[in-house]
Amino acid sequence: MPNKVGQANQTPIALNQPFARHSRQKYQWVPPLEPRTPFQRIKHAASSLGTRIVDVLRPNSPRASDRVGSLKAADKEMVKLLAHVLDGATDVPTMAGTIQQFSASTDHVFHTDKDENVALAGLMDIRAKVHIEHMSLQDLQTLTTRLDKAIEASAASDSKDSLQVLGTLTGIRRQVVREQASRAVLEACKATLQASPHGPKAAADQFDVALRAAERALTNLGVPLDGSEAAKSRPYALVKEILNELLKRGDLQPKDGLPRESMRALFKALPSATQSELLASDKNKKPMFNDTGSVDALLKDTIAQQWRDLKQAVADHCEAVGTTNPSADLPRFSDHVTRLARQWPALQEHTAQHKLPGDRPLEDQVSQALAQLTRLQPEQLQAQLGRLTPEQLVDFSTALRSLGIEGDCLDLLSAEIRKGKRESLVTPGNYLLEACNHLSLGQMPKALEWLAHAIDATPAALETNAAFGNPQWKKGAEGYTAFQNHLIKSALDRLDEKELARLHASLRAPRFAELASLLQQIGFTLEDMPDPKGDRIRKMGMALETLITELDRRVKSTSTEPTDDQPLDEATFEVLSKLTGVRVFPSGEMGVVYDAPKAAFQRNLDAMLAKPAPGFTPVGQKGSSGVSEAMYVDLKRSNYVIEYPNDYSEPLFGNTEAFRIDQLRTNAELSADELLLLSQVAHQGLWAGVIATQSSPQDSPIRLPDGTPVNLVGQPKTTFTVRRGPEGRLFVRCEQELSPVLALDPATGNTTALDMVKSGAWFGVELEIGKGQVQVSKPLTCSYALVPAAA
């Protein structure tokens, strides 16, 4: 566009330049001052124009300044008109005066932009759209109803100018609403395509979002949705009109629309009933915006192609059912029966919805296949049942039932499904029974270990049972809880009355309720652990509570109080510490996991590996020791352990470093490279990053109950356990303990008295050594416990 204002390098103000607050995402009225009217509110917003617009123009340009002034004046009149309509007034002379003022204020705009060939009506369109497209939903709905009243008043007074301008505003409003609806429908259609692999229902749910967007647009346009049959079809009609535009736009610019093949895939994903609604929605109706011929043609072609594809699929599956021997290949046979059971009803539905002609030869072919299934004998299935997955068993059984095939074969499949469900419960159920047995005998530590085994085995049992036709158990936490309750009840069903009574009597002791509560508490404390220990402990607590509740329901209570009133013992807390990886004490206090040192630990590890130390040569020796100097110094002050495959562990021993190095090299079967690489990290310097954060007054994550940051001062005890894993992989488990400790306030130098036995800090990480690299194989865990000293 030629530059008509100022010099050639100047950019003239755009005719659609947003003024004041109208450049925001939503059109907002300025908060009213009592008793400010809508006109006053908009006037106040426009009053902040000031010099903002001058920034886009060349300063000191009188012609540019005049242009800005004209456009500001025209915009002011447009604001007046919109406010007048929004306020519900139908004063036609006032509206006509505002329109005349708008025309008068545009002279200089036209004078400076005469080459743009912008007519008065065009400029009015531009300025009105600036405001309408930034209106809130509430203001758009208000404008819809108030414009109709203003048009009625103008028609009654025969005001042609007012009618023309109000008609323009109505058109712009419709255009803005439709653009909003188009964006929403496009996003919903993309979501429908993404959901289509999950089946027609998933696709229909997403497409329903497009219909809801169309309903909102119709409401904003003032089109009533009154529950009538005509009203029900309007959202479908509007969606189809938008789809037609998206189709045309997509063929030219795929990013802004839906290409033809995407649109075809969209229609194919929809249920036949939805296709039918779309096809008939604008029958004998004038489109609200655009013609829908292109979409209609594509939709009809898709429907016809689907019909042909469904008929061919049904014919193919009927033929396969007739030619496949179930005794030789039951998985293939059951797959064809399952597909036939799905596609034959789909074909019938598709044919009925779209009033397509029947196919008598195909119907006869289906009848023959059903007759063959009726003659199917259990002996033909028995030998091959083991080849069917749980999903195939369920699908095959469901398919026979939906096709109306009853009898011995269906009974056989149902029995196999019940058997599969029972067998999937055996492993976790046996673990639960072991836990119950030890609970009955008061052997709490063993009971906890078996309960942990049961929890670990539960997910696999859940997956299998879900595959056998209980998908609700896969639905998040509620599904897991329901399955765990089912598992516990199934395990208790295997106990006789005496065993139930004995277990119930044991679990009535107060310490069992205390244990259930403690497990939940520990679990939630550990919810940020980098491994699933916290989740497992929480589920153990849930299981114990469910066990107690279920026993109370099954066993009649007696007046005899339980004689076992002993508190939880030290062995129980040792097991809990083993299961959680942090220290748990009888009072319920435990190490609190924190994340602050983790980044510092990784930075320190990276720095150690970036500058690998050479093999250290001790004084008086000619050859290298084969390990770094840091590890050589630590060989006697840290604990080095070799763990063998049979879980037997043996610490290094001997009076000399050379003897210990030789044990490590020989017993752990280390090559020279592995030994040197191991020595780069297996020493006390590994914990420098962790210690730095906990010794800093600002960064220490350790807090007293009152929130005071403290440092834990104590003698470190470091252990490095070296083991060979699967396929000869080399691992080293690194652990450090600070215990006993003192809590030092770095700001004051004061110490807080702690229980020296129960308080401390514990760090652990596992590293994999190999191929010239060191990698973290099990993430860093850090915990501490601050147990106040007894008064």
Does residue 572 carry a pLDDT above 80? Answer: yes
Query: How many residues are listed for the chain in this entry?
Result: 791
Percent of the chain predicted with pLDDT > 70 = 68
Does residue 318 carry a pLDDT above 90? Answer: yes
Q: Which of 129-143, 346-360, 758-772 has the lowest mean pLDDT?
A: 129-143
The tens digit of pLDDT for each residue in 665-698 reads 999 999 999 999 999 999 999 988 776 555 555 5
Total domains present in the chain = 5
For residues 781 and 765, membership in a common domain is answered with yes
Residue 186 resides in a domain = no
Q: Tokens 């939903």 sit at which residue?
A: 137
For residues 147 and 69, membership in a common domain is answered with yes
For residues 89 and 235, membership in a common domain is answered with no
What pLDDT score does 42 carry?
41
Residue 191 resides in a domain = no
For residues 337 and 404, membership in a common domain is answered with yes
Q: Which of 426-435, 442-451, 518-527 has the lowest mean pLDDT?
A: 518-527
The tens digit of pLDDT for each residue in 609-645 reads 988 899 999 888 888 999 999 999 999 889 999 998 8
Residue 5 resides in a domain = no
3-state SS track over 679-705: HHHCCHHHHHHHHHHHCCCCCCCCECC
For residues 610 and 576, membership in a common domain is answered with no
Q: Tokens 């007034």 sit at which residue?
A: 89
Task: Write down the pTM of the prediction.
Answer: 0.54
Residue 720 resides in a domain = yes
For residues 430 and 574, membership in a common domain is answered with yes
The string of DSSP letters for 169-219 reads HHHHHHHHHHHHHHHHHHHHHHHHHHHGGG-HHHHHHHHHHHHHHHHHHHH
The tens digit of pLDDT for each residue in 190-205 reads 888 888 888 788 888 8
For residues 142 and 207, membership in a common domain is answered with no
Model confidence at 589, in pLDDT bands (50, 70, 90)?
low
Q: Are 13 and 71 in contact (CB under 8 A)?
A: yes
For residues 476 and 490, membership in a common domain is answered with yes
What pLDDT score does 83 carry?
73
What pLDDT score does 730 carry?
94
Domain's final residue, options 404, 422, 440: 422
| Long-range pairs, 215-224, Cβ under 8 A, ≥24 | 216/181, 216/184, 217/177, 217/178, 217/180, 217/181, 217/184, 219/141, 220/137, 220/140, 220/141, 220/144, 220/177, 221/144, 221/173, 221/174, 221/177, 221/288, 222/144, 222/145, 222/148, 223/288
Domain's final residue, options 123, 158, 193: 158
Query: Is residue 406 helix, strand or coil?
Result: coil
Q: Identify any residues that bridge with 594 across adjacent strands, giving them in sequence order.
A: none
Give the mean pLDDT of 565-577.
80
Domain's final residue, options 580, 611, 634: 580
For residues 499 and 565, membership in a common domain is answered with yes
For residues 105 and 123, membership in a common domain is answered with yes
Does residue 9 carry a pLDDT above 50? Answer: no
Q: Identify any residues that bridge with 731 across adjacent strands, giving them in sequence order.
A: 723, 768
Domain of residue 235 covers 202-291
Higher-scoring residue by pLDDT: 222, 395: 395
Q: Which of 55-64, 86-95, 128-137 has the lowest mean pLDDT?
A: 55-64
Residue 236 resides in a domain = yes
Higher-scoring residue by pLDDT: 361, 754: 361
What pLDDT score does 587 carry?
58
For residues 443 and 416, membership in a common domain is answered with no
Q: If 0-12 CB within 10 Å is exposed, 13-18 middle and 19+ buried, where does residue 746 land? A: middle
For residues 752 and 619, membership in a common domain is answered with yes
What pLDDT score does 370 carry?
93
CA atoms lying within 13 Å on the CB side of residue 367: 6
Residue 703 resides in a domain = yes
In whole numbers, what is the pLDDT of the chain averaged over residues?
A: 77
Residue 268 resides in a domain = yes
Residue 166 resides in a domain = no
What pLDDT score does 600 carry?
78
